[in-house]
Chain A
Amino acid sequence: MMPSHFFYLLPEIWVGALALLILLLDLRWKGRGHTKLGLMAAIGLLPVLPLLCMQRQLDTLELLHGMYRIDSAALLFKGIFIITSLLVILMTREISKTPAAAQQAHGEFYLLILSATLGMMFVASAADFLMLFIALELITISFYVMTAYLKTDLRSLEAGIKYLILGSIASACFLYGVAFVYGSSGSIRFVEIRQFLQETPFSAGCLFGLFLILGGILFKTAGVPFQLWTPDVYEGAPTSVTAFLSVGSKSAGFLVALRVFHELFISSSADWAPVLVWVAGLTILYGNLGAIPQKNIKRLLGYSSIGHAGYLLIGLACPSSLGSTAMVFYLAGYLVTNLAVFLVVTVFSSHTGSDEIKNYAGLSKRSPLLAMVMFIALLSLAGVPPLAGFIGKFMLLLGALSQGHLTLAIIGAVAVVISLYYYLIVVKVMYVDRAEDSSPVPVSLPMRLALLFCLLGILGIGIWQEPFLSLSFAAVKGLF
């Protein structure tokens, strides 16, 4: 192997080595040093970010017999995955300090977070369906275990079983689709499939395979009709895993979707775009209407994450660079916003042991910082102007209009109003309702820093959009 190949693989090698180091140190410290391990894992991930910046370049680069490639989309998404994983590790560290979780072993948990991250990084760089499938499996297998991690909690076990069974079906669906694409195009390499489809615009086998692949992707991203698992799994899984599922796993799913739809199958977009328009509209409605009656904050966020998947699917349904730019930009905003909400939920539930919305009463007095971050993040999720969620939604709806999908744009706009209703109920409970227990909720230093980072992200992406927009545009330019 040439040294340059080694350089481009360095981020993955680093994360893999970090995972193994965590495993060994956990054995050495006999499972006692889990707060130290968490800090190590988080700090260990930091050097990957400058490494990714150093790899920036203009052209697409294929390595290792076309299995692995570097392009700007891959690098940007790797950055997203690393930041997500870092915050998730900090959340896990916070949860592991609570007495209820102290019984569990945690070293393995960090290892699984890192292996899922590694899978996501390989998904970002895969240039071949075989590589893509193995990387996706690395993500899902780690998630199966993480969702069921709280073995003594029945809800966690239920979530794990549901995710395992439905996830296996989704993987099988995806693989079956790949088999059809291979059978009719004769290749599993992205470059060759793209070329084949440009020469043969209509290929029944490829299209059938594409829709099976779409099934697998919709499962990952929680889109209708494969969304049923979402609320139950989100509620039962440990909070940090829910955050990871809703941001990391979803971004990975949408990255695969971008690659498959906007890169490989762009020439047959007339065949798939109408289906995606329907799926996007139904997903938005399902998520936003389902969220209204929820009493549990994690269930509420589960439904709201289905709604956001719907918005992202609008971007996928627009086969233009506007659609995919909007999608990447929306994902970046969604990352900081949703992680901010989950940070608040983590701190609150590890202090009070409750995820019910009614227990958030009086949070503005118990911890002004938490209440303020939650307030701003929820407004950003709904898409209120100066914040990160607004620009993304605006661009996605613009994309829908530019493709002539007026109904879809109207559904999207109406859903914003619906979502404001259920997000503001949470705000009302925090700011207006009287608390039964008015003891302050302490926020530890790492959590403060993480909250501050997310808050800056929400405001930064919302107010100073230009660098983020050009970054997302550069990322998707290589796809077409």
Chain B
Amino acid sequence: MEQTSLLFYILSSFAIAGALGVIMARHPVYAVLSLVAALFSLSGIFLLLHAYFVAAIQVLVYAGAILVLFLFVVMLVDMAPERLFRLRTNMLNLGGALFGLVLLWEIVVAACFFTIAPPATGAGTEGTTAAVGALLFTRYALPFEVASLLLLAGIIGAIVLAKKRL
């Protein structure tokens, strides 16, 4: 038990550091690479939760395919890092940081009174591919179908916006 908590804290601090890197890196390529690091740590957390399928998908799809695509786009667009930096130094930052701190404080206060309930549904199931698949086609069949419509709308939207003439 001790080891899992230790691993959890290590992984989550990596994830937070990666997320901070995404917004603080001056160069977009570094930002994307930090995102890769954050997603890898997240998939480690999924592993700790016995969600093996989600962990694998996280690495394969997000950290692998999608972020490589991000990297290509960033390299093709070739944004100058300095200009990005100038955009970011802005008086609004101060207000944003203030609100962020307030939100963080709220989270801390909420966490002090936190009681975590054991999950009522699906408790004890291992997150293997078979278990996830069985749930997707029985209990979560309707959201699964609606998600396919969501993807259709997304694909069509992307084509409509990206193509010059249809």
Contacts and interface: CB of A to CB of B under 8 A. Distances in A.
Contact of B117 (A134, A142, A186): A186
A187 B157 CA distance: 33
A151 B119 contact: no
23 contacts: A67-B142, A108-B156, A108-B160, A108-B166, A111-B153, A112-B157, A115-B149, A115-B153, A118-B149, A131-B143, A134-B143, A137-B150, A145-B160, A145-B161, A148-B161, A149-B160, A160-B161, A185-B117, A186-B117, A186-B118, A186-B119, A203-B115, A205-B113
A233 interface: no
Nearest to B118: A186
Nearest to B151: A141
Interface in B141-162: 141-143, 146-147, 149-150, 152-154, 156-157, 159-161
A122 B161 contact: no
Contacts of A183: 114, 116-117
A130 B143 contact: yes
Contact of A138 (B106, B149, B156, B160): B149
A213 to B, nearest CB: 14
B142 to A, nearest CB: 5
B94 interface: no
Contacts of B117: 183-187, 196
A115 B120 contact: no
Given A134-B146, A145-B157, A149-B160, A208 B140 contact: no
Interface of B: 106-107, 109-110, 112-121, 138-143, 146-147, 149-150, 152-154, 156-157, 159-161, 166
Nearest to B145: A16
A105 B162 CA distance: 13
Interface size class of A (residues with CB under 8 A): 35 or more
B113 A204 contact: yes
B149 A16 contact: yes
Contacts of A108: 156-157, 159-160, 166
A157 to B, nearest CB: 9
A205 B119 contact: no
Nearest to A202: B113
A145 B107 CA distance: 34
Interface string A130-146: 11001101100110110
A111 B115 contact: no
Pick from B106, B117, B121 the residue with the most CB of A within 10 Å: B117
A23 interface: yes
A330 interface: no
A405 interface: no
A207 interface: yes
Given A105-B160, A108-B156, A208 B106 contact: yes
A141 B161 contact: no
Contacts of A473: none
B120 A184 contact: no
Most buried by A among B119, B141, B154, B156: B156
B90 to A, nearest CB: 16
A436 B156 CA distance: 43
List 5 tightest A-B contacts by C-beta distance, closest first.
A145-B157, A186-B117, A204-B113, A208-B110, A105-B166
Nearest to A106: B166
Nearest to A133: B143
A141 B115 contact: no
A142 B157 contact: yes
A64 B115 CA distance: 30
Interface in A185-234: 185-187, 189, 192, 196, 203-205, 207-208
A68 interface: yes
A118 B139 CA distance: 21
B138 to A, nearest CB: 7
A65 interface: yes
Given A112-B153, A204-B115, 8 more contacts: A31-B166, A67-B142, A68-B142, A115-B152, A135-B146, A138-B146, A142-B153, A180-B110
